[in-house]
Amino acid sequence: MRLSGERVALGGLFVYALAAPHSIAGAWIGLSFAVLGWLLRALSGGEAGWRRTPLDLPLWFFFSWTVASSLLSAEPRTSLAKLLNAATFLVFYLAQGLLTRRLAVGLASLLIASGAAGALWSAGELLVGRGVVVREVGAESPLRTTPLAPGDAVWRVRGARVSTVAEIDEAIRRAPVGARLTFGVVTRGEHAEWDAGVVTQEMQAAASPSGLAGGGRTHSFRASGWSRHYETFAEMLQMLAQLALGFALANLQRGRRGWGRVALPALAFALLAAGIALTAMRTVLVAFAIGASVVAVRGSTRGRARLFVTAGIVFALAFGAVAVWRTRASGALFLRDDSSRLRREVASVALGRVVERPLFGYGMDAVKQHWREWGFPGDVQIHTHSTPVQLAFDRGIPALLLWLWLMAAFWLMAARAERMWRETDAALTHGLALGTTGALAGFLASSLVNYNFGDAEVALLLWWLMAAVVVISREREVIGDER
């Protein structure tokens, strides 16, 4: 049973690594099998694989404060239900109990390869185009009730992809009468989901149920891999790019050459950087530059290596600037668009309200039931687009301080692991530690203006990296003791 459990767990981690950059559902399926395998191993007499670490204290204090904040929330039912999401940190202990040094390196490589494949797919999709560009919205079109305008592109109907008006009409005819009629639209480069009411028999009997005229695909949209979420996709690629760079520089430091050792991770780094640029995520592009700079400095790059890293950063920033200019609203490149204005307004309101409930905050997601009442702008209920602001608003200032303690402890452990493996011959292990320092630096930089800690896919990768650092640190200490 123990061997079967380990095989099931290994398969689950393999599925997680393949799915993580693209699908939260796929990632959770993989982790569920990993949990099952871990349980089978434990029931057959295997060890849990946990050890005390400097991360435990801030982590459990942070979660305990989150529980207290939820109990004292302005909307306790809503906040307590959200604790299931907050408990994803248990993946840190799951991965810590299953990973070995070699397995951590192998899964990191698989994560990088999966992310690079998604970036390559995104580039191809942008070349091919997506959906059907709308030329005219008829008077009887159900989309008259939505903001759809000529020049926008419809690319999904009730979750199914479409590329012609005929396919849109056929999707409406196939839908059950009374079902909600939802459309995925690309409008000014942004993805939007609009509800056009319910499907009726009269609508299906019309010559053109959609009432649309148009044709041709749009090439002006933000890359999102195999998902619809370019924000998440960009955050994941940023962290994976640092791991790829860490592998490349660690091998280069040791004088190793060849396609597999240096060129392959360097190519993955370039693909991931291009993928980030194609998402047109301004803040993640800057975070990527910061993370790559940290990896380059800690990796003591010189000569051609330093030129390569600098070129990669400059390319991503320049290419990203072009993508922002082409796909996003006018003024977005210089933060003069509606999105930037709304972010500033929301953050300002949230900070103003923190002083009213500084200890335990308002409770996770409680704002969704009091958006207008608490003075937030517009009708769209969003988050504050900043992890520190969101934590202080939702869970109180002490929760923010505990989170900062946790991140500082993680940074110190990752930096120490990088130093411990730097002088060894284990290039890939050193590369994992080196890349993790850059991934964390980029994550923290992006967190200032994005609520990336609240993004399940990104948080899972963060917990996984924490576990990997614990495992490689422990193994290095064991090797040192044996000597």
CA distance 276 to 388: 23
Helical ranges in 254-337 per DSSP H:
264-278, 282-298, 303-327
Average pLDDT over every residue of 238-264:
87
At 56-77, the pLDDT tens digits run: 999 999 999 999 999 999 999 9
Which residues sit opposite 359 in a β-bridge?
none
Q: Residue 205 region, left (φ>0) first, then alpha (ψ -120 to 50), else beta? A: alpha
Which residues have a Cβ under 8 Å from the Cβ of 15 and sit 6 or more positions away?
A: 26, 29, 30, 33
At 439-481, the pLDDT tens digits run: 999 999 999 999 999 999 999 999 999 999 999 998 765 554 4
- Strands 180-187 and 190-198 come out as antiparallel
Residue 180 has pLDDT above 80, yes or no: yes
Mean pLDDT of the chain: 89
Query: Cα torsion for 76, 78, 81, 84, to the nearest 10°?
Result: -100
Q: Is residue 471 within a helix (H) or strand (E), and if so which, with residue range?
A: helix 456-482
Q: How far is CA 51 from CA 162, 319, 414, 460, in A?
A: 51, 44, 16, 20
Phi, psi dihedrals of residue 304, rounded to the nearest 5°: -65, -35
Phi, psi dihedrals of residue 212, rounded to the nearest 5°: -105, 155
Residue 257 has pLDDT above 80, yes or no: no
Tell the residue number behind the tokens 């946790």, with chain if given.
406
At 13-26, the pLDDT tens digits run: 999 999 999 988 99
In whole angstroms, what separates CA 71 from the centre of its chain? 28
CA distance 12 to 33: 5
Which residues have a Cβ under 8 Å from the Cβ of 447 and sit 6 or more positions away?
A: 386, 387, 388, 453
The pLDDT assigned to 481 comes to 44
Tell the residue number behind the tokens 């796909």, with chain if given.
327
The pLDDT assigned to 93 comes to 94
Question: Is residue 335 within 8 Å of 303, Cβ to Cβ?
Answer: no
The pLDDT assigned to 191 comes to 82
For the chain, what percent of residues have pLDDT higher than 90? 58
CA distance 134 to 214: 5
pLDDT band at 1 (very low <50, low <70, confident <90, very high): low
Question: Is residue 276 within 8 Å of 326, Cβ to Cβ?
Answer: no
CA distance 477 to 429: 14
Average pLDDT over every residue of 165-170:
92
Kindly state the tokens that stand for 313.
């950063």
At 37-59, the pLDDT tens digits run: 888 887 776 676 678 899 999 99
The pLDDT assigned to 294 comes to 95
pLDDT band at 482 (very low <50, low <70, confident <90, very high): very low
Average pLDDT over every residue of 332-347:
78
At 106-152, the pLDDT tens digits run: 999 999 999 999 999 999 999 999 899 999 998 889 888 888 889 99
pLDDT band at 7 (very low <50, low <70, confident <90, very high): confident
Angle among Cα 255, 293, 95 to the nearest 5 degrees reads 80
CA distance 124 to 21: 17
CA distance 405 to 57: 9
For the chain, what percent of residues have pLDDT higher than 70? 95
pLDDT band at 268 (very low <50, low <70, confident <90, very high): very high
Question: Is residue 125 within 8 Å of 240, Cβ to Cβ?
Answer: no
Kindly state the tokens that stand for 134.
């709308």
Which residues have a Cβ under 8 Å from the Cβ of 246 and sit 6 or more positions away?
A: 295, 299, 430, 431, 432, 433, 434, 435, 436, 437, 438
Question: Is residue 472 within 8 Å of 421, Cβ to Cβ?
Answer: yes
Q: Is residue 38 within a helix (H) or strand (E), and if so which, with residue range?
A: helix 24-43
The pLDDT assigned to 427 comes to 92
pLDDT band at 162 (very low <50, low <70, confident <90, very high): very high
At 419-433, the pLDDT tens digits run: 999 989 899 999 999
Residue 3 has pLDDT above 70, yes or no: no
Other Cβ atoms within 10 Å of 360 Cβ, number:
20
The pLDDT assigned to 476 comes to 66
